[in-house]
Amino acid sequence: MGDDTNSGDRGTSQLPPPRELVLLRANLEQCAELIERDIAYVDVKQGRLVHLPTPFVRQWMTPREDTLPVVVGISSLPIMLCDKVLIGHDCPPELTPSYGPWFDRRIGIIFDVPDELLHYLPAKKACTPRAVGKAMKYLCDEWLIDVATDYKGKCKIIACALSVIERMFLPMRPAFFLTAGQAATGKTTTAHMISMALRGKPAYGSPFGKNEEERRKAVLSYLQMGLAIILWDNIADGTQVWSAAIEAALTSEEYADRVLGFTEIRVVFASSIQIFTGNNIKPRSDMATRSLVIRLEVPRPDPENRIFRRGKPVQWTEEHRGEILGAMYTLLLGNPPLAVTLQPETRFKEWYELVGSAVENAAAEHLALGGELPHCLPQKISFKELFSETTAADERRQAVGEAMILMRQQWPEGIGAATMAAYLREGSGGALELFGTLGAATGGWDKINRVAVSSQSVTRRLGNLLGRVVEIGDEWLRLSFIAPSNTHKESGIYKVEPVEQQKE
């Protein structure tokens, strides 16, 4: 990719969308057919070919420890490994197939990369710092020019796209939220642009289940299909998103759950990148530590009538897939390796090494190159800070900190559950504030009237906060439980204590 690759309009790339291949479990008949492609069974007495008896096919299908490789998934895009080696852009001679896609046994991935894409992949030596800066400029100022977000938001969108490329090599991956204060700001369109660039097709929109059972069933089904992107679209306004199933799928290589209507537990690979869209939605609780939020802002009541540089951004993305993908791979291949002594600064260690640090480096090179859009000038970014911003916006996490401050001020030496329950029933100004804050921190007192608060209910609430460390100003605080002495009337003492901060 030369110096002019990422500047101006170079026309359409005419890069066709890849085939959508999925992994499906073969039934008895299909397994028998696979066996009989290589082995012919003959009835010796009659001298004719026969089918393999069903018991033998079942035995062949029975899982067992052997040398057969496990398939992780199917990728229509090359994947960059941690050592900056691009896998899947060319089939090694020893793996050359006679037909169709080829399977890389070393990493367990089937590659089905269109030949036309190879023309747009940059050579590693061409991914100089200047080329990285120009690639980032192209993605921000050309591809995402009409996306109504700031520079940090565009960096998160690019990180989402790179995560789709690297998804099968990531043991954990963050979720991405596209939110705004009103409709028609381009949330779903942005998700379709990401999908169009990577898959050659818009994303499949999915409803966000009303309860956890629906979400569990949906997550298992989507992961089983090996979807590159799961788009939870048009979530109800103001929803605080959480889901134990989704949280588990984000922080695990494999996801296991019971198959609907059966006692079977199915294990699937959890490599899908999950995107959430909705007005004023946000991740809640543990979900906040796993998410990056992209805020779209349009300063007018009819955002659909604002001026667009690209009248049809999804179509423009389709016409320029080659250039967009070339720029993305330039960011990946041009990212210098992290220093051995430098630890990744997010909970997603491998993701940061492959994706997060690449976007940070590209933003720095873009800043050195200079920007042209006054409303979206390049700047240095830190994904550690971006994740912290999401966590800081979590209302429940804020309530936890406020509850600990109130407890520390009221009872610096600690407090028992029975004494606290009596204090909350008392109804003073401080008691009312603590009642509301403690309820918000632990999910609310939905079915409990304040005057009926018991020591048991307080114990349950405080038990939810035990061991949690929160940052308050320059301090780290933690709620601890101190076992009672023989003479103590309480069952134990809860005390908010400072925690010694670990040096980075």
Spatial contact of 54 and 28, defined as CB atoms under 8 Å apart: yes
Structural domains of the chain sorted by starting position, each given as residue range(s) with its CATH number in brackets: 28-114 (no CATH), 124-392 (3.40.50.300), 395-498 (no CATH)
Instruction: With residue 409 as reference, give the H or E element that holds it.
Output: helix 395-410
Position with higher pLDDT, 189 vs 388: 189
Residue partners of 77: CB distance under 8 A and separation at least 6: 18, 88, 113, 117, 164, 165, 198, 325
Nearest Cα residue to 494 out of 403, 437, 416, 412: 416
Q: How far apart are CA 440 and CA 453, in angstroms?
A: 15
Spatial contact of 363 and 252, defined as CB atoms under 8 Å apart: no
Instruction: With residue 249 as reference, give the H or E element that holds it.
Output: helix 244-250
Percentage above 90 pLDDT, the chain? 51
The pair of structure tokens assigned to 445 is 């007192």
Beta-strand (E) ranges in 181-222? 205-206
Q: How far apart are CA 305 and CA 310, in angstroms?
A: 13
Q: Is 146 helix (H, G, I), strand (E, B) or coil?
A: coil
* Other Cβ atoms closer than 10 A to 427: 12
Instruction: With residue 110 as reference, give the H or E element that holds it.
Output: strand 109-111
Quick check: 486 pLDDT over 70?
no
- pLDDT, residue 430, reads 85
User: pLDDT tens-digit profile of 268-292?
Assistant: 999 999 999 999 999 988 899 999 9
User: pLDDT tens-digit profile of 122-149?
Assistant: 999 999 999 999 999 999 999 999 999 9
Highest mean pLDDT among 46-50, 227-231, 295-299: 227-231
Quick check: 222 pLDDT over 90?
yes
Residue partners of 340: CB distance under 8 A and separation at least 6: none
The C-alpha angle 291, 294, 296, rounded to 5 degrees, equals: 155
Greatest C-alpha distance within the chain: 96
Q: Over range 73-91, report the average pLDDT.
A: 85
Q: How far apart are CA 460 and CA 85, in angstroms?
A: 51
Cα 335 to Cα 218, 237, 304, 321, 451: the distances in Å are 36, 38, 37, 21, 60
- pLDDT, residue 1, reads 36
Q: Are strands 240-241 and 102-104 parallel, antiparallel or unpaired?
A: unpaired
**Residue type at 485 in one-letter notation:** S
**Residue type at 170 in one-letter notation:** L
Residue partners of 424: CB distance under 8 A and separation at least 6: 431, 434, 435, 450, 453, 458
* Other Cβ atoms closer than 10 A to 324: 28
Quick check: 503 pLDDT over 70?
no
Q: How far apart are CA 233 and CA 231, in angstroms?
A: 6
Percentage above 70 pLDDT, the chain? 90
Identify the DSSP state of 108.
T
- Size of the chain, expressed as the number of residues it contains: 504
Spatial contact of 18 and 76, defined as CB atoms under 8 Å apart: yes
The pair of structure tokens assigned to 287 is 């979900």
- pLDDT, residue 161, reads 98
Spatial contact of 177 and 292, defined as CB atoms under 8 Å apart: yes
With tokens 């028992």, the residue in question is: 416
- Please give the backbone phi and psi of residue 291, each rounded to the nearest 5 degrees, phi first: -130, 155
Give buried/exposed letters for 101-123 (b at 16+ CB in 10 A, else e): ebebeebebbbbbeeebeebbbe
Nearest Cα residue to 150 out of 313, 378, 410: 378
| Structure confidence at residue 338 as a pLDDT band (50, 70, 90) | confident
- pLDDT, residue 115, reads 87
Q: Over range 356-360, report the average pLDDT.
A: 96
Q: Over range 32-50, report the average pLDDT.
A: 89
Nearest Cα residue to 421 out of 447, 391, 451: 451
Q: How far apart are CA 490 and CA 417, in angstroms?
A: 7
Q: How far apart are CA 105 and CA 94, in angstroms?
A: 11
- pLDDT, residue 8, reads 40
Position with higher pLDDT, 473 vs 207: 207
